[in-house]
Amino acid sequence: MMADPDPFPDALAADLTMAVGRLLRRLRAEANPSELNLSQMGALARLEQGGPMTTADLARAELMKPQSMGAILASLEQEGLIERQPHPTDRRQVYFVLTEAGAAVRTRHRAAKRDWLVRALAELDPDARRTLAAAIPIIQQVGET
């Protein structure tokens, strides 16, 4: 906790980074009923949000090498969570899309994260929840900068 009523940006940045990082790690730990790793969940989320994508598109979006993304996609395909579809204009390329099972994993993952966070927030006193609610627009503003 910071005692300084007007923290310097560098101290505030360090504290916020640590707090947000801890929250994200806890969300991931509490809300991964499928036991997929972070890279696999990231690929599923990209396909859910962006629709059909090539290996190269997914690799660029996730900031990784196409070979690494290819291994991730192979594992997801083996689990039946994604499938290949022909590219509509380039027969040399293949699109990857979520299967029903993949969409169900994403739905369960979102629900598990939300359920854990609701329980954690319910344990806070009402003043703490109001303070957190008041900080959300500020956090969004920082994130959009």
- Say what the pTM is: 0.75
Q: What pLDDT, on the 0 to 100 scale, is given for residue 19? A: 93
Confidence band of 25 (pLDDT split at 50, 70, 90): confident
Q: Using CA atoms, how far apart are residues 4 and 25, in angstroms rounded to an integer?
A: 27
Please state the rounded mean pLDDT for residues 7-25: 89
Q: What pLDDT, on the 0 to 100 scale, is given for residue 29? A: 81
Contacts of residue 108, defined as CB under 8 A and 6 or more positions apart, other chains included, come to: 33, 34
pLDDT digits (tens, 9 = 90+) for 46-85: 999 999 999 999 999 999 999 999 999 999 999 999 999 9
3-state helix, strand, coil in the chain (%, to 5): 65, 10, 25
Q: What pLDDT, on the 0 to 100 scale, is given for residue 65? A: 96
Mean of all residue pLDDT scores within the chain: 91
